[in-house]
Amino acid sequence: MITGIPQSGGFRWTYRAYVTLFFIYLALPLVTVCVFAFNDSVFPSLPWEGFTWAWFFGTDAPYIGVFHERGILRSVVTSGIVAFWVALLSVFVGTCNAFLFVRHDFRGKGFLYILMLLPLIIPGIILGISILVFSSSVANYLEDATGLWFDGLRPGLILVVLGQFSFITTFATLVISARLQKIDPSLEEAALNLGATRWGAVRAVTLPFLYPAMAAAGVVAVLMSFENFNTTLMLVGSDAPLTITMFDRLKLGSTPVLNAVSLLLIVASAILGLASLLLQKRTE
């Protein structure tokens, strides 16, 4: 913090006002969404018709709350299943990648590292269409060749999981590598000197040291998977995850039930986000 610099009072106040305005700008859309979740009106807009919990717990049409709205509940479950598999796969592959890039030297390492980072600079929608095009041609080829059906390669949850996994793994790799670089190699050597096998030393010493980072990567993966839209949009089949369902409703115009879902999402993602930060802090 810089203290020793004279600044005119006017400048300081303008600067503070600007920062305040900025944070109002950041908060405004989220606060608005949350406030209108409690409006006793079938449209998420003014005028304010009074306070209600109906958009959470209501059972009578048109006041059907989130907890009684089948379509939304089903898509939350779908999103949960997708997020679970994405997190599991990306943390597993991310951990392998971390060991590979941190512990091994080999020819072409720099090139593979750049390749590993590429998913970050490919727009999500292009990742989606490329996987869609590729898997469909593989499915066509296999179906022509064998006469069997390969539904897993057609738009649907498997492709959604693979599509999200394809770029979330990069994040998992970066988070876990950062932690692995910090471990003191003498700890593992001590275990080896004490007669542990290589794998035994990794399991007893290194992996426990990595758990917080793996957990953080998992939480980040769940968050990113839940909110992903672009890649998912191109790969989705008949079972729509939450963001897709919400998008369809939004285009048609919807009741404040969407605000209620959004409020729950905001709370859940804030909690998950803080959890990932705390986990990563423990790794430092």
Partner 1 sequence: MPVTDRSRLTFYLLLAPLLLWLVTLIILPHVGMFLVSLREKVGVREYETGFANYAVFFNEPLYWNTFARTAYMSIAATVLTLLIGFPIAYYIAKLTRGRTKTTLFLMCLIPFWVSELVRTFGWMILLRETGVFSNVLQWAGLADAPVEMLYNDAAIMVGLVYTSMLFMVVPLVTTLDSLDDSLIEAGYDLGASGFAILREIVIPHAMPGIVSGCIVVFMLSLGNYLTPILLGGKDSLWFTGLIYSQFITRFNWELGSAFGFLLLGLSSTIVFIGLKLSRQSLGRTMAQ
Site map (CB under 8 A) of partner 1, residues 203-222, x = contact: --------------------
**Given CA atoms 204, 205, 207, 212 in this order, what sign does their dihedral have?**
positive
| Angle between the N-to-C axes of helices 70-103 and 109-117, in degrees from 0 to 180, rounded to the nearest 10 | 160
Instruction: Give CA–CA dist 264/268, Å, rounded.
Output: 6
Site map (CB under 8 A) of partner 1, residues 40-79, x = contact: ---xxxxx--------------------------------
Residue 137 makes contact with partner 1 by CB under 8 A:
yes
Applying the rule CB under 8 A, the residues between 243 and 262 that interact with partner 1 are: 243, 246-247, 250-251, 258-259, 262
Least spacing, CB of residue 151 vs partner 1, in Å: 18
Residue 27 makes contact with partner 1 by CB under 8 A:
yes
Residue 226 makes contact with partner 1 by CB under 8 A:
yes
CB closer to partner 1 out of 64 and 131: 131
CA–centroid distance for 195 within its chain: 41
Q: What is the DSSP letter of 44?
A: S
CB closer to partner 1 out of 60 and 114: 114
Least spacing, CB of residue 64 vs partner 1, in Å: 18
Q: Say if residues 225 and 164 touch (Cβ distance below 8 Å).
A: yes
**Given CA atoms 218, 224, 225, 231 in this order, what sign does their dihedral have?**
negative
